[in-house]
Amino acid sequence: EIVLTQSPGTLSLSPGERATLSCRASQVLAASYLAWYQQKPGQPPRLLIYGASRRAAGIPDRFSGSGSGTDFTLTISRLESEDSAVYFCQQYGNSPLNFGGGTKVEI
Amino acid sequence: QVQLVESGGGLVKSGGSLRLSCAASGFSFSDYYMTWVRQAPGKGLEWIACISNTGDSMYYADSVKGRFTISRDSAENSLYLQLSSLRVEDTAVYFCARGLGVLTVYVPLDFWGQGTLVTVSS
């Protein structure tokens, strides 16, 4: 099974700054089958990015994804207070479709 | 609009059983793979089961295989998860989610319900 390791565990930044979140896979991901989700307290996860770099419907262009192989990045440019949340990556190229442990972004 | 509403959670003793439901609306239910994901209190997300759009194929995480059963009823637009031989470590919020587009288990999850809490006591 593929294990995803996210770093850092917590990121504390100010509004307007850029956030860079990392997700590393234990094996090469087929066809960049990597997604990013945002979860706020008491809410379900929300799909942000899939296919490593494709924004889901309705997601602001402040959110961007990049990477391939085993190393992937979620970038949030120009942070806003509403971006405070936990961010999870997920690989969906192999069963089980595992999630990373999450990165908490504090603003 | 797409809506997924889970129900059926509650408090159950270790070794007990529970059946979760997820009522779907706002889309053609029979055209999508559906998935259950759980989240233990204060912890991360765990993918646990997926079912094909026709209900012919099911996929499970090793942690629940042989104890949980995923099923669906297209006439009722509903997804189910039968939980058996429950353990304390199964305590979690259980989310149902829709697979994005393509008819395969290998897709991201584009819509999620609010979740239902299952608490297993010893």
Mean pLDDT along residues A74-96:
95
Q: What pLDDT is recorded for position A95?
A: 87
Q: How far is it, in rounded angstroms, from Cα B49 to Cα B58?
A: 7
Q: 3-state DSSP call for residue A3?
A: coil
Q: How far is it, in rounded angstroms, from Cα B87 to Cα B67?
A: 10
Cross-strand partners of A24:
A5, A71
Q: pLDDT at residue A26 above 90?
A: yes
Using alpha carbons, select from B65, B29, B60 the residue that is nearest to residue B47. Answer: B60
List CB contacts of B57: < 8 A, sequence separation 6 or more.
Answer: B51, B105
Q: With contacts defined as CB-CB under 8 Å, which chain A residues touch B32?
A: none
Using the Cβ of A59 and the Cβ atoms of chain B, whether some distance falls under 8 Å is answered with: no
| Partner residue facing B47 (CB), from A33, A93, A99 | A99
| Partner residue facing A99 (CB), from B45, B50, B112 | B45
Using the Cβ of A65 and the Cβ atoms of chain B, whether some distance falls under 8 Å is answered with: no
- The list of chain B residues with pLDDT below 70 reads none
Q: A36: left (phi > 0), else alpha (psi -120 to 50), else beta?
A: beta
Q: What pLDDT is recorded for position A89?
A: 98
Q: What pLDDT is recorded for position B101?
A: 80
Using the Cβ of A46 and the Cβ atoms of chain B, whether some distance falls under 8 Å is answered with: yes
Q: Nearest 5 degrees, angle CA B24-CA B99-CA B64? A: 90
Mean pLDDT along residues A97-102:
96
Share of chain A above pLDDT 70, in %: 100
Pairing of β A4-7 and β B45-51 = unpaired
| Partner residue facing A88 (CB), from B44, B106, B114 | B44
List CB contacts of B50: < 8 A, sequence separation 6 or more.
Answer: A97, B33, B34, B35, B36, B58, B59, B70, B99, B105
Mean pLDDT along residues A78-96:
95
Using the Cβ of A81 and the Cβ atoms of chain B, whether some distance falls under 8 Å is answered with: no
Q: Is there a contact between B105 and A95 if contact means CB atoms under 8 Å apart? A: yes
CB A87 within 8 A of CB A37: yes
CB A87 within 8 A of CB A74: yes
Average pLDDT in chain A: 95
Nearest residue of B to residue A94 by CA position?
B106
CB B59 within 8 A of CB B48: no
Q: How far is it, in rounded angstroms, from Cα A17 to Cα A94?
A: 35
**What single-letter amino acid sits at A89?**
C
- For residue A70, give both structure tokens: 């085993």
Q: With contacts defined as CB-CB under 8 Å, which chain B residues touch A100?
A: 44
Nearest residue of B to residue A45 by CA position?
B112
- DSSP letter, residue A99: B
